Structure 1
């Protein structure tokens, strides 16, 4: 990677995002810059200040306000980093909307999709072109992001799709939720499943177009599954957290992927968990969550 590297993490005020910033700041050099982003100016400023004061911090840490639902803001930030620094070296798209089990999935669909999917598409479109040779562009997803977790009637929407086609599929899903035809079309009630599949499909789409030149210069684009992490977002969904990782421990596996040299071609464009690929076509449709959410 280049000297004076630039790294950026979305959804970085707390939880895994903040742990990723802390890890980047500890592993990078004094001349490097890590951008901690989030929606709240106060929380972003406080988090950046606290990370900057940690004993292990080496790189510079700067807070930047970024609402990932504002796709134009994502594009502007990418352009700014290209103009000021010639591009960016590490981008981790991590933002997610917090959703509670007792909340209506349909009523929260727009926010959830905007944060998890529309923003992912915008990050890939904006930061892919300004990623410097040898860079890393990672989208935090989950093991639910494998195609087999969806009804087979929906597989054609994502398998081998372009980014435009993934976006169209996401908007079709959104429309089906609003028209209350989602279940009859095969979409699960639980928003997290199609959202994660779509995130991985978007990564695969972009990676398919760039693979040859990226591997030639040591660039990595991939989706990552950090495993079960004990955060405010995940805690309400699980009764047993005994096997959950702390955000710091979960961040380590993601950071190992960021700093691994050389790039393993087998990981390029894939969903990676603890350094290993989760096969795209694996998984079976999940029904337990739908039973739990059915009125």
Structure 2
């Protein structure tokens, strides 16, 4: 008999994260455990309780307080899951810090980078070693996360480099934001672009080190683009929601990938959108108009 599967989703009290938890709870087995995490204790408890009581839920659902910017807490939870369960089977790194139009990009940069990038690095480092054979380690990113969306001068910072070099590039970019030197180095002012490229580069760096043994055990490390999703975080930036998905619909494609029985080697380590690879070297720097509508 197979051991119960353990799944964890970050940023899961609302939007896509909650929809991912709901989908996992509906599609996993009764003995399996889904951990719904977030940084607000009240919202975590409420969301986990609602999902657990849903008639669609088949598996166990528990809420866990987790601020992904707290490196010690992220590491401690990974160690706990290793000690209690022998590891984890599904990790979906989904937490974001929403951007708002009425504040400057620079004023929002630190929190955004800490959640989207520094926390992603911590999750990759902490949960990669405790991912059980056949597991899934997934980072929710964006189709903006390809090299072509950056000035060619910046490609060398992210292309084919190890995780520590990605981390250094992120901190160099952060420094340029605060020093007011973005233009001189070629960094875009829209912070979502370098952030997403760095997320995908971090996943590629970890996947490059693990590829052979992961494919031998049916394990998947990848980043995903869920497409345009209508959430509280995205609403300030959109005027037309006609093409936006509900979180529930967006979660389906992600979960189809996560719960697929076999791992397609073509998908391993890549940015995946609706089951297809988004070319790493593709894309062009977004225009002023496009930057707020590209998912």
TM-score, structure 2 length as denominator?
Answer: 0.97
Is the CA contact (8 Å cut-off) linking 1:137 and 1:221 kept in structure 2? yes
Measured in 2, the distance between the counterparts of 1:285 and 1:258 equals 30
Q: Give the Å deviation of 1:236.
A: 1.2
Q: Give the Å deviation of 1:71.
A: 1.0
Segments of structure 1 that go 5 or more residues without pairing to the other structure are none
Confirm or deny that 1:23 pairs with 2:47. no
- 2:104 matched to which residue of 1? 104
Q: Give the SS at the match of 2:107.
A: coil
- 2:217 matched to which residue of 1? 217
Is the CA contact (8 Å cut-off) linking 2:105 and 2:190 kept in structure 1? yes
Measured in 1, the distance between the counterparts of 2:241 and 2:191 equals 22
Segments of structure 2 that go 5 or more residues without pairing to the other structure are none
- 1:64 matched to which residue of 2? 64
Confirm or deny that 1:113 pairs with 2:134. no
- 2:79 matched to which residue of 1? 79
- 1:36 matched to which residue of 2? 36
Moved more, 194-203 or 282-291: 282-291
Deviations 1:117-164 (A, max 9, x none): 000000000000000000000000000001100011100000001000
Measured in 1, the distance between the counterparts of 2:287 and 2:120 equals 26
Deviations 1:219-248 (A, max 9, x none): 000000000000011111111110100000
Measured in 1, the distance between the counterparts of 2:87 and 2:75 equals 13
Q: Which runs of 4+ in 1 moved over 6 A?
A: none
Tell me the matched-pair count: 292
Is the CA contact (8 Å cut-off) linking 1:105 and 1:190 kept in structure 2? yes
Deviations 1:192-225 (A, max 9, x none): 0000000000000000000000000000000000
TM-score, structure 1 length as denominator?
Answer: 0.97
Is the CA contact (8 Å cut-off) linking 1:92 and 1:139 kept in structure 2? yes
Distance 1:2 1:108, change over 3 A: farther
Q: Give the SS at the match of 2:222.
A: strand
Confirm or deny that 1:176 pairs with 2:201. no
Q: Give the Å deviation of 1:103.
A: 1.4
Q: Give the SS at the match of 1:213.
A: helix
Measured in 2, the distance between the counterparts of 1:174 and 1:182 equals 9
